[in-house]
Structure 1
């Protein structure tokens, strides 16, 4: 019995506690974001960042209620592990919405890089809508069936659960590989002194993309190889917090680029740029900040030096 609890309730409790810690990190990053970027558009501040934080708050409340259900309400009753409280079904919905929100943001970034006919953004959007449909179905059935029998629920909807997980991995890999591809294209056309900046962006994209993709793959493997324990469910509790922290780290990274002493060569001369009229022809759709000025880069346009991050203010 003790061994069974270690691999079920014990593992689940660890996953939920880690998720709670990561929610604290999300909250800290949201605070840092609002402090450093008060001029970003309201859509970014309220719709994306604050909206995502509210989803994470709801998810955290739901999963903590679930562990309370197992460890307090049904203390000493191992049969309780055979069912799932309704809050777990709600957590699945919030989990899916958080993931799709993050993927939608990065898909928009790909759109900013892409040229017509926008095949990659369209493909990524299709994957997101497929996830949304699958998550909605899983959540509705979880509320109805899982409260009666978690085993029956997994037996009936295992195929859809696995489909959802693979769709997420496919979307993550598509997004991260596309961003790296487009950044690498711009690297080949960039001035020598800007290559280091682009390399840094590529490294960040690879690191964040690998983390979410690998966790998704590990989750699938854990489910397929040991579905009788709750290791996969523990990972499932942690994943949305990883997605949220990935997005916020991406957005807050602008501050570190802003404070970096970046020098750009212009017409053979190198040094910090302070003349706002200078432009460098390129199509990179990112924003690179220096301590003195901001390089605002838009799709198909130029590098312009401006004191305000207009791209994020106008999104």
Structure 2
């Protein structure tokens, strides 16, 4: 009877030192974190390239507030990369001689802080763009978008900072491997799900505004204008889906593989994807003007808005639907024109 009781009690004992050492050094633990950081560093190079392209094209055109926001975003990305590499150094070098590896560290907690701030900045920028674009025709709609979008972004930011605080408390040499996942797993899932929901909502709002702008043109729609609006709608959907899918993948990995660090490796690249989506959307303005609108577009340095012309024609010209862009430009010099504004 005694051996049976001892055998049952052994099932609930913590793993031995050798087992815990092997567990932390396994491919699904430290290996997943290292691979995630390597991918994150590659994406950091893409971000620096996009940032250089932005300041080369729009360094003298965009307002100072937007350029300051981009500088701050790049600084956060640099801090995110620095703390990520410091976490690898801590797990592989600083604690290499310790028999029991800690499950968390302060460097990884600072990485969480940078990631939360980056996500809030990018989503806040898109919410402001939705507010200016979709709510341009209605002050009430403009206020509603600002209030609802701001509340969702602020809530996600608060949840992220809460997780960072709890992660800081559970860091150090005495940190358990699964302390944060077991106690605050529900909060981590809620925060990631809320970020994915915000991305989908922003993309849907922008697509609604673009389609409404297309309908407001009436029956006389220039082909370049229609192609521009469709291109912007597709780009908006792709950008929103990329960030939301990345957040959903992290949630799925966390729920199905909570007791390894594969979800951490995937999560380390989410902040980079947000920054790339923002910088790529800003840099794509000139490309879309040249591709879809040609010489009919102009850029306002104060509002960063695309402007193109809708030509007023007579009733006889309205019946012709096969007019080329070049002929429309030629007639615009003789007929009154009206401007229609679309946010970049």
Q: TM-score, normalised by structure 2?
A: 0.77
Of 192, 198, 223, 1:171 maps to 198
Distance 2:51 2:336 in 1: 34
Distance 1:188 1:76 in 2: 67
Unaligned runs of 5+ in 2: 1-21, 297-309, 318-322
The answer to whether the 8 Å contact 1:85/1:146 transfers is yes
1:137 is matched with 162
Alignment of 1:1-315 (within 5 A): 1=22, 5-38=26-59, 39-46=61-68, 48-75=69-96, 77=98, 79-80=100-101, 82-112=102-132, 113-114=134-135, 115-118=138-141, 119-147=144-172, 148-190=175-217, 191-193=221-223, 194-260=225-291, 262=293, 266=311, 267=313, 268=317, 270-271=325-326, 273=329, 279-280=337-338, 282=340, 284-287=341-344
Distance 2:47 2:250 in 1: 22
- Partner SS for 1:228: coil
What do residues 162-188 of structure 1 show as CA deviations (whole Å, max 9, x unaligned)?
Answer: 111111011111101111111111122
How much has 1:262 moved relative to structure 2?
A: 2.7
- Partner SS for 1:17: helix
Report how many residues are paired: 284
Seen in structure 2, the aligned counterparts of structure 1 residues 236 and 87 have a Cα distance that, compared at 3 Å, is: same
Distance 2:176 2:214 in 1: 54
The answer to whether the 8 Å contact 2:228/2:292 transfers is no
Distance 1:261 1:182 in 2: 18
CA RMSD of aligned residues (A): 2.3
Seen in structure 2, the aligned counterparts of structure 1 residues 74 and 180 have a Cα distance that, compared at 3 Å, is: same
What do residues 176-229 of structure 1 show as CA deviations (whole Å, max 9, x unaligned)?
Answer: 111111111112233232110001001100111111111111110100001112
Which of 1 and 2 has greater Rg? 2
How much has 1:117 moved relative to structure 2?
A: 2.1
The answer to whether the 8 Å contact 1:146/1:152 transfers is no
Seen in structure 2, the aligned counterparts of structure 1 residues 153 and 259 have a Cα distance that, compared at 3 Å, is: same
Seen in structure 2, the aligned counterparts of structure 1 residues 76 and 2 have a Cα distance that, compared at 3 Å, is: farther
The answer to whether the 8 Å contact 2:87/2:108 transfers is yes
Seen in structure 2, the aligned counterparts of structure 1 residues 278 and 214 have a Cα distance that, compared at 3 Å, is: farther
Unaligned runs of 5+ in 1: 288-315
Distance 2:337 2:263 in 1: 50
Distance 1:77 1:223 in 2: 27
How much has 1:76 moved relative to structure 2?
A: 6.2
Seen in structure 2, the aligned counterparts of structure 1 residues 41 and 6 have a Cα distance that, compared at 3 Å, is: same
Q: TM-score, normalised by structure 1?
A: 0.83
How much has 1:150 moved relative to structure 2?
A: 4.1
Identify the range of structure 1 (13-22 vs 150-159) with the bigger mean alpha-carbon deviation. Answer: 150-159
